[in-house]
Structure 1
Amino acid sequence: MGHTDLGEFFYERGDYMDAFRSYVRTRDYCTTGKHVLWTCLGATKAALAMGNAQHAISYVQKGEAVPDLANEPVVQAKFNAAAGLAQLMLREYGMAARRFCAVHPDLAQDPSWLVSPQDAAVYGALCALAFFGREEMRKRCIENVQFAQVLEHVPEIREMLHGMFCNQHAQGLEILDRLMPMLKLDKYLEEHLDTLQREIRRCALVSYTLPFSTLRLASVAKAFRTDIAGIEAELAGLIGDGQVLARIDSAHKILYARRSDRRRLVFAQALANGRAQLEECESALLRSSLQRHDVCVRPSLSHLQDSQHFSCP
């Protein structure tokens, strides 16, 4: 307990390196699983305060390996929030979103923790909108009862998330633009906001254009509240990156999707499978014929003797 108290003392003073060392020394004197959990929490907290995301992830993993964690939902929520924050620092936004979406609402029981439920909701929603596919978004965000309870702390983020999922992109992007000045005050999120905002807009454009075979750029520009020239440049960038399979008629300002002929693909796949099956059957028949006519290369007597000599009894 002395090392734990010393770690708390250094942490409150802002001496995070000494705090981390004190928490790590505590590990040698732990006698129960609960002691190990609190040691790992302290080391994780100090590592994140130092900006050392790798150390934080390491101690989160050590804490999650303790069997007693199953009986500590608040501690589990803290580990998920801390791991999400560490992944955010490492710019691994997809992994961060999965961690934040797994945060339990009981995290609110300890308001002094590094990440509050409101923070987890904001970080998780933004990272999910930027890097989740539609199916993963539905599973981890929309239908996740625990994360839905966490989202209740920030109604505007919840409205933005559901709006973007329901293809109300203009409404969702408008909410994001309105929240940007406040989000830029967050010390953990500020340096990632430009990347996340750009990726969220790109994902929204991809999702908007996906169902259409032909689409006027004017309607896309209206939906995203920008001009035709700007939306054309954005779509051209997405086409160049391979995220949108389409071509742009610059003269008539129309986007034409490049649809693959599914019927032709099915026939081609069937023919390829048939050829592979035919080759396999011919090979089997040839082998059978060679064996029947005794046209096979058998191992020599000396080779058999050598094999028996070196084989294990």
Structure 2
Amino acid sequence: MAYDGNLPAPTFDLDTYANNYQGALLPIRLAHISTHCPSLSRHALSSAIDAAKQGKDVQLYARLHDIADRLGFADLAKMDTAWASKQEEANRRELSRLEGELRGYKNNMIRESIRMGQDDLAAHQLSTGGPVPDPNDPHSQHTSGYNAAYQAYGKMRDYCTTPTHIASMTLRLIYTSLLQAVSSRQAGGSPTMYYNTAVSNAHRIRTIGVKEEEMDRLVPIMNASLGIAYLGNGSYRDAASYLLSTHQDYATLGAVHNTDFPRMVASGNDIAVYGGLCALATMDREQLLTRVLGGPFRFFLELEPHMRKAISLYTTAKYEACLNTLRHYHADWSLDVFLGPHVDLLFARIREKSITAYFSSFSQVSLSSLASTFPPAHTTSSDVQHAMELEALSMIQSGTLAARLDVVNGLLVAPRTEARAATHADAKAAADEVERTLLLRLQRVNAVVAGLEVPRGKGGGAQQAGW
């Protein structure tokens, strides 16, 4: 299934979905849905415009109207120019006031006032979308948009006097990095640099030195942020590891240092889906049973029963039912700004794992039987076997599947193993290990007999032994 702009209607209700989020990412999420799901396009875009109008970001408001114009919604494409002009003027006045106050704080050399002034300025840059880049100056991209907010937050570091101040700044840097990554991808750029920045900032949380009760609130955010950042970069195993380590308190954390991650970035339901898919694509059956279904992460899976069901089906070797369950929610997950670009690759890995696990129980399987259990997507009944043949060949060439392809007879044949030779090799290895152990014991006996062993005193120390 391709990640395109023709996705079917999802299973969730758009208004209920929107109520789970707030902040700058909400209109961006809704804009993403509008450009990928025709059945929800108008509703999502209308909600995105309303959400943007409740904020201060005129640039985002204008981009949403450009999307409406591109999609052919003439009524939504008409901007409220009076509101935009009034808001731009208010933003300029507020920016001038904050910059003036910050200059005054710096002249007075009061570190706490400078830190708070810098925080207010960065928050303003974030809420307004930052300065507009100069089309004639390519370097202005680095100091415009959300980049300006990130740099303003970074300047707080020199004026932080307590670990709590550093923790507050770090959370804002992580949030801004994730916002930069999503905005960059939607603009057609690469989000890799921003996800790497989020990773480096999140790793600093453990070394901040805050009190234990405050660290207990920061660690779930750290794990969730690392999981999302690694997911964005395609490091699915690392993403699964951190997402599965996220404490269940994350879903009910609320605002930490005025940053409500579950509502501003990813909810507990999102963590369940991200972690479940990454784990299903990278972990074996034993790990899924112990770390996912049997570990603390099960709390998140209770929020998404279909994800828990899919993992349970895989662990009980019901691969076809597992893939069908996942396929039913493909549209939902493709409309997520963090997960959407990776859904098809994750599905492909899960499918390859399922085929490999299914085939491991047989010495040979017909391609027609394999195709009936794992029907290839977007194929007609006439070329299903041919598509399965090409898929099996691709898996063999990549080393994913240890098998031989018999094209003439339409069979997938497992490699022959010489059981007799393998038994002889195991026996020889065991004999070598026994011989080595006996030689080491004999050497010790000879050392004791020759008086070469260092005696130990009652305390076991070298001083009591006469050294």
User: What residue identity is the alignment partner of 2:418?
Assistant: D
Q: Give the unaligned 5+ runs of structure 2.
A: 1-115, 131-145, 182-193, 255-261, 377-383, 440-467
CA distance in 1, matches of 2:228, 2:306: 21
Q: Structure 1 residue 210: deviation in Å?
A: 1.2
CA distance in 2, matches of 1:211, 1:87: 34
Q: Structure 1 residue 129: deviation in Å?
A: 1.7
The answer to whether the Cα contact below 8 Å between 1:78 and 1:113 also exists between their aligned partners in 2 is no
Q: 1:243 to 1:70 in 2, by over 3 A?
A: farther
Please show how residues 59-78 of structure 1 align to structure 2 within 5 Å. Answer: 59-68=201-210, 70-71=212-213, 72-78=215-221
Kindly provide the CA deviation profile for residues 124-154 of structure 1, in whole angstroms up to 9, marking residues without a partner as x.
1112222223333333312222x11111221
For 1:215, what is the secondary structure of its paired residue? strand
Please show how residues 161-310 of structure 1 align to structure 2 within 5 Å. Answer: 161-226=311-376, 227-268=384-425, 271=428
Structure 1 match to 2:239: 96
CA distance in 1, matches of 2:211, 2:414: 50
CA distance in 2, matches of 1:165, 1:269: 30
Which structure dedicates a bigger proportion of its chain to helix?
1
The answer to whether the Cα contact below 8 Å between 1:48 and 1:56 also exists between their aligned partners in 2 is yes
Please show how residues 24-103 of structure 1 align to structure 2 within 5 Å. Answer: 24-51=154-181, 52-68=194-210, 70-71=212-213, 72-103=215-246
Of 267, 274, 279, the residue aligned with 1:116 is 267
**Consecutive aligned runs of 4 or more in structure 1 exceeding 6 Å deviation:** 272-278
Q: Structure 1 residue 229: deviation in Å?
A: 3.0
Structure 2 match to 1:307: none
Q: Structure 1 residue 270: deviation in Å?
A: 5.3
Of 287, 291, 296, the residue aligned with 1:136 is 287
For 2:264, what is the secondary structure of its paired residue? coil
Q: Which one is further off, 170-179 or 259-268?
A: 259-268
CA distance in 1, matches of 2:372, 2:162: 61
User: What residue identity is the alignment partner of 1:112?
Assistant: R
Q: Which one is further off, 257-266 or 201-210?
A: 257-266
Higher relative contact order (CA 8 A, sep 6+): 2
Q: Give the unaligned 5+ runs of structure 1.
A: 282-313
The answer to whether the Cα contact below 8 Å between 1:247 and 1:257 also exists between their aligned partners in 2 is yes
* TM-score (norm. length: structure 1): 0.79
The answer to whether the Cα contact below 8 Å between 2:288 and 2:311 also exists between their aligned partners in 1 is no
CA distance in 1, matches of 2:416, 2:299: 40
Structure 1 match to 2:147: 17
* TM-score (norm. length: structure 2): 0.55
The answer to whether the Cα contact below 8 Å between 2:198 and 2:225 also exists between their aligned partners in 1 is yes
Kindly provide the CA deviation profile for residues 245-294 of structure 1, in whole angstroms up to 9, marking residues without a partner as x.
2223334333321142344134236557979989xx9xxxxxxxxxxxxx
Kindly provide the CA deviation profile for residues 54-83 of structure 1, in whole angstroms up to 9, marking residues without a partner as x.
211111111122343743333211111111
Q: Structure 1 residue 101: deviation in Å?
A: 1.4
Q: CA RMSD, aligned part only?
A: 2.7
Of 138, 151, 156, the residue aligned with 2:301 is 151
Kindly provide the CA deviation profile for residues 284-310 of structure 1, in whole angstroms up to 9, marking residues without a partner as x.
xxxxxxxxxxxxxxxxxxxxxxxxxxx
For 2:221, what is the secondary structure of its paired residue? helix
Q: Which one is further off, 106-115 or 265-274?
A: 265-274
Identity of aligned residues (%): 29
**Equivalent pairs, count:** 281
CA distance in 1, matches of 2:422, 2:430: 12
The answer to whether the Cα contact below 8 Å between 1:122 and 1:157 also exists between their aligned partners in 2 is yes
Q: Structure 1 residue 240: deviation in Å?
A: 2.0
Q: 1:39 to 1:122 in 2, by over 3 A?
A: same
